[in-house]
């Protein structure tokens, strides 16, 4: 077997389960928003490590630059000004893939192998197998993947799967000057996140909380949110879910049933033909209809 750190738990559009004998440590990235100063070092590091260069754009009246995630910007500092309890807050969120335990993108993807969930929990896109349909974008509850205009492939944060595979932390974690981003096992990160809450509550953030939404089975990117009761103020969905429509749309059972039904028509036809023969014009008897 290949690198254990790249053992696969799930693959898009698979017909059989991947090998699962080995277990691998589940990892997570913890983003403590209360320690984040929005310096964009993570954005730089992401560009440097992954050799991405977005356009030099314009200022549209915001600190958020580039204005949105793209095939060249896999992470982005999102700045929001909010009055919360009469106090001005400048909410800064490092936007990017959350690496869901139950990834909507993977569920929605029709291209075998284009989206892979490693046993570590990292959800990675293998663009070489991507067909550019964009269904993963529709399937993502966080609106993260972006289709490239240049090559019609979809891109997003890989959680530096290449670095993690060889025992390094993601580039954004390494660069973060205030150590607002940390990396480790999911268990440790969850613990570290919970440990931050008493301090935040003591500082007046009564609703500080850890963002690890159960609707997607939990995520491998966790946030400590000082205003944990208002994730949407940061730009995070309050209760992200895959949803019934997506589940039904991409239900393997339903699709298999559909295929079986289709082929049943074929089989029925054959059986019918065998049993009843063709419908032919009977030989005509003068002066009357066929019997």
Binders of another protein in range 2-61 (CB under 8 A): 13-15, 34-41, 43-44, 47-48, 53-61
Question: Cβ 121 to another protein, closest distance in Å?
Answer: 23
If one counts every other C-beta atom within 10 angstroms of the C-beta of residue 211, the result is 22
Residue 166 touching another protein (CB under 8 A): no
Element (H, E) at 222: strand 221-225
**Footprint (CB under 8 A) of another protein, residues 170-189:** 177-180
Q: Which listed range, 104-112, 162-170, 185-193, 214-222, lies at the site for another protein (CB under 8 A)?
A: 104-112
Residue 92 touching another protein (CB under 8 A): yes
Classified as helix, coil or strand, 12 is coil
Q: Which listed range, 94-102, 117-125, 215-223, 244-252, lies at the site for another protein (CB under 8 A)?
A: 244-252
Nearest to 16 by CA among 252, 216, 217: 252
Number of residues that bind another protein (CB under 8 A): 93
Question: Cβ 4 to another protein, closest distance in Å?
Answer: 26
DSSP state of 79: E
Nearer CB in complex with another protein: 120/136: 136
Q: Which listed range, 129-137, 161-169, 207-215, 227-235, lies at the site for another protein (CB under 8 A)?
A: 129-137
Distance (Å, whole) CA 159 – CA 51:
15
Where are any strands of DSSP class E within 19-126?
27-32, 76-84, 87-95, 115-118, 123-125
Classified as helix, coil or strand, 21 is coil
Residue 68 touching another protein (CB under 8 A): no
Question: Cβ 220 to another protein, closest distance in Å?
Answer: 21
Among 93, 108, 115, 193, binds another protein (CB under 8 A): 108
Question: Cβ 30 to another protein, closest distance in Å?
Answer: 14
Q: Which listed range, 1-9, 85-93, 160-168, 182-190, lies at the site for another protein (CB under 8 A)?
A: 85-93
Task: Please list, in sequence order, all residues whose beta carbon lies within 8 angstroms of the beta carbon of residue 94, skipping any fewer than 6 positions away.
Answer: 31, 36, 42, 75, 76, 77, 78, 172, 180, 181
Distance (Å, whole) CA 244 – CA 133:
21
Nearer CB in complex with another protein: 92/189: 92
Binding characters for another protein, 131-160, by CB under 8 A (x = yes): xxxxx-xxxx--x---x-x--x--------
Is residue 94 within 8 A of residue 125, CB to CB? The reply is: no
Q: Which listed range, 19-27, 155-163, 181-189, 252-260, lies at the site for another protein (CB under 8 A)?
A: 252-260
CA distances from 152 to 96, 109, 219 (A): 20, 15, 27
* Number of Cα atoms under 13 Å in the Cβ half of residue 36: 28
Distance (Å, whole) CA 109 – CA 125:
10
Question: Cβ 168 to another protein, closest distance in Å?
Answer: 20
> Encoding tokens for residue 239?
């209760």
Q: Which listed range, 156-164, 186-194, 209-217, 238-246, lies at the site for another protein (CB under 8 A)?
A: 238-246
Nearer CB in complex with another protein: 1/59: 59
DSSP state of 214: G
């Amino acid at each position: 077997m290949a690198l254990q750190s790249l053992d696969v738990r799930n693959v898009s559009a698979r017909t059989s389960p991947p090998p699962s004998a080995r277990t691998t440590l589940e990892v997570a990235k913890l983003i403590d928003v209360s320690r984040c100063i929005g310096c964009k070092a993570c954005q730089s590091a992401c560009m440097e490590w992954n050799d991405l260069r977005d356009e030099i754009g314009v200022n549209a009246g915001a600190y958020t630059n580039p204005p949105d995630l793209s095939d060249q910007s896999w992470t982005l500092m999102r700045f929001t000004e909010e009055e919360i309890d009469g106090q001005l807050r400048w909410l800064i969120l490092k936007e990017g893939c959350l690496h869901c335990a139950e990834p909507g993108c993977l569920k929605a993807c029709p291209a075998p192998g284009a989206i892979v969930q490693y046993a570590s929990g990292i959800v990675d896109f293998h663009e070489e197998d991507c067909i550019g349909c964009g269904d993963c974008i529709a399937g993502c509850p966080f609106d993260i993947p972006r289709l490239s205009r240049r090559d019609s492939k979809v891109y997003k944060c890989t959680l530096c799967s290449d670095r993690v595979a060889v025992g390094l932390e993601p580039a954004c974690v390494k660069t973060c000057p205030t150590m607002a981003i940390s990396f480790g096992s999911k268990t440790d990160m969850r613990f570290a996140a919970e440990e931050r809450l008493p301090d935040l509550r003591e500082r007046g953030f009564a609703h500080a909380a850890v963002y690890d939404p159960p609707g997607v089975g939990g995520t491998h990117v966790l946030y400590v949110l000082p205003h944990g009761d208002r994730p949407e103020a940061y730009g995070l969905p309050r209760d992200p879910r895959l949803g019934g429509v997506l589940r039904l749309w991409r239900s393997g059972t339903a699709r298999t049933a559909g295929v079986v039904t289709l082929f049943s028509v074929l089989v029925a036809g054959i059986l019918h033909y065998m049993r009843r023969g063709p419908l032919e014009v009977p030989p005509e008897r003068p002066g009357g209809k066929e019997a």
